[in-house]
Amino acid sequence: MSEDKAKLLPFYVVIDVSYSMDGENIVAANDIMPTLLDALGQNPILSDKVRFCLVDFSDDAQVLLPLCDILEPSLTVPGLAVRGGTSYAAAFRMLRKTIEDDVAQLKGDHYSVHRPAVFFLSDGAPTDEDHEWRDAFAQLTEYDRQSGTGFPMYPNFIPFGVAQADPRVMQQLIHPSTGGKQMRMFMMDKGNTPAEAIRAMAEILVSSVVNSGNVMAGGSSGIVLPTTAQLPAGINSYGADDDDFL
């Protein structure tokens, strides 16, 4: 019987590419993965701990970069291009299927898998019907341990809102929102530009990846988000019960 390999933490970077992201915003979004690549290049030991997948969404969603070690020499990071509207439901459905398939593949390759982490960036409100994106999000995040119903590999979900993203909607995407391992959302401050905020998202992602990888190397587990004091200028962080953004 094959021995289990290392335990991996999968990260899913999910980017809104609706038409409102055109211009400087999509340029900044295209810098996210190269920024992450540079950071991992300076911390190559972390490549044994983490994997990355890039998903974009508009009216539909697509996996641009399947889950991988982004330090693989032959890897080419695909570019993002704007198109269509803002279907949160399409993104959530794609994530559910992709995470399920990826975890099964990793386990088939004898890896152990930490709970995946989703970094979800949007610059606007969903164009789906309210019930549609809510149902899709529930299918992605709900799981009842006692009955075994739902999605057992539900991800930790970290929303990032820029430009016209509705903080009340984004706050509902924080998951888990209760318990001892609550996630948080990150929102652009008034006065900041969306492109600057998107670049700040890259910094927050890098910080989370490096901190989480170092924690894993020390024998602990789970995603580690930056503290409020560690946030880049122009960004604020909120929990599921906060209301001071209103």
| pLDDT reported for residue 218 | 67
Could you read off the pLDDT of 19-33 as tens digits, one per residue?
A: 999 999 999 999 999
Query: In the chain, pLDDT over 90 holds for what percent of residues?
Result: 75
Sorting pLDDT into bands at 50, 70 and 90, what band is 15? very high
pLDDT band, residue 47 (cuts 50/70/90): confident
The pLDDT score that the predictor gives to residue 1 is 41
Read off the pTM: 0.95
Res. 135: pLDDT tops 70? yes
Give the per-residue pLDDT at 7.
87
Report d(CA 188, CA 162) in Å as an integer: 5
Spell out the domains of the chain, with CATH numbers in brackets: 7-238 (3.40.50.410)
Mean pLDDT of 109-125: 95
